[in-house]
Amino acid sequence: MTSASTASSTSATSSSTTSRAFALVRTADELHARAARHAGTVAAAGVAENSRTAVVMTMGALHEGHATLVRTAREYVGPHGFVVVTVFVNPLQFGAGEDLDRYPRTLEADLRTAEAAGADTVFAPSVDEVYPGGEPQVRITAGPMGERLEGASRPGHFDGMLTVVAKLLHLTRPDLALFGQKDAQQLALIRRMARDLNFPVEIVGVPTVREADGLALSSRNRYLSDGERRTALALSRALFAASDRLAAQSALRARADSLPGAQNRAETRAEALSRLGEARAAADAHAVAQASEGSGAGAVRAAARSVLDDAAAAEPPLTLDYLALVDPADFTEVADDHDGEAILAVAARVGTTRLIDNIPLTFGATK
């Protein structure tokens, strides 16, 4: 798993972190014993609220996105809860030619990051601990949603991801598990698995953390050269351009709809704006709405694609894998007249590094 999330306040966790007994455990038995001791300590202290357990699953190489997930987990369970960070590079998620061998392994630094963010324990099991007897013969299948976008680009990836998430949920026994919105399709599939297979756990999604220049935090960012990083910024710029385009469309529609008598006239928004003498706005409204109540999903896609096309001609170039505007429920493409929630997702390669990003959008909110 990979994960990222928005920055959140650390004031609720900073004081409790300094006195918390932090530990690294390697086996599920050690983890369960530690959780039991924690629960006993909380009970002996006469704490009224129930002590809940939260888990943040990672593949290590922790960055600020992971740290924010841990801080958010601490906020959810409170100072007396039990926060577990798993560090496990899952071989089932890597296909042929992917970067399993070179995936960064930085456990000592990960321990410092997890402790500072407010974790009680890092659970860093071996492959034999998670998969005793070798690769599992029975696995979770992601279904049709797992065959789209990332699943199409990385066959079998989501089956491997769901299988290890299911196993880690059993091994860590949490009340809630937190995952980053940066991996939006992963998050949707985990939620679906938990619902369909009746896992007694709350799945919490936490928005994407970005670096100062807008690049979504990822353990793979360290692979980028300076030039490749400049090109890679096109991913977030494309998403923000699409978001800005949607906001502009919504503002134009609101302006046209607010004109006196606009709701009772058989005229397009472009014509309504023309009555104000706003020729440029009218032309824009005509281009994106074309005398209809359409939501402009096509224009939003086009705004993002324009940025990505420019990056494809840069040096070094960006090689687009996919740009998709999808329904969060099943990750199918939305229609041009879509109303409601959507996710604009992008994946691309810069040099040898493959990056993903996404942004949630809402269509039709101002109608």
66 is catalytic: yes
CB contact at 8 A, 325 and 333:
yes
Q: What residues contact residue 271 under an 8 Å CB cut-off, 6+ apart?
A: 282, 291
Q: Provide Rg for the chain, Cα atoms.
A: 23
CB contact at 8 A, 14 and 226:
no
3-state secondary structure 88-131: CCCHHHCCCCCCCCCCCCCHHHHHHHHHHHCCCEEECCCHHHHC
User: Residue 361: beta bridge partners?
Assistant: 342
| DSSP secondary structure of 184-214 | HHHHHHHHHHHHHTT-S-EEEEEPPPB-TTS
Q: Which pair of structure tokens corresponds to residue 126?
A: 């071996």
Q: Is there a cis peptide before residue 316, judged by omega within 30 degrees of 0?
A: yes
Residue 68 phi/psi, 5° resolution? Answer: -70, -35
d(CA 246, CA 299): 8
| DSSP secondary structure of 264-308 | GS---HHHHHHTTT-HHHHHHHHHHHTTS----HHHHHHHHHHHH
Which residue in the list 66, 80, 157, 338 is annotated as catalytic?
A: 66
Strand 318-326, strand 340-350: pairing: antiparallel
CB contact at 8 A, 363 and 348:
no
Tokens 């996919």 belong to 322
Q: Which pair of structure tokens corresponds to residue 79?
A: 């100072």
Active site residues: 66
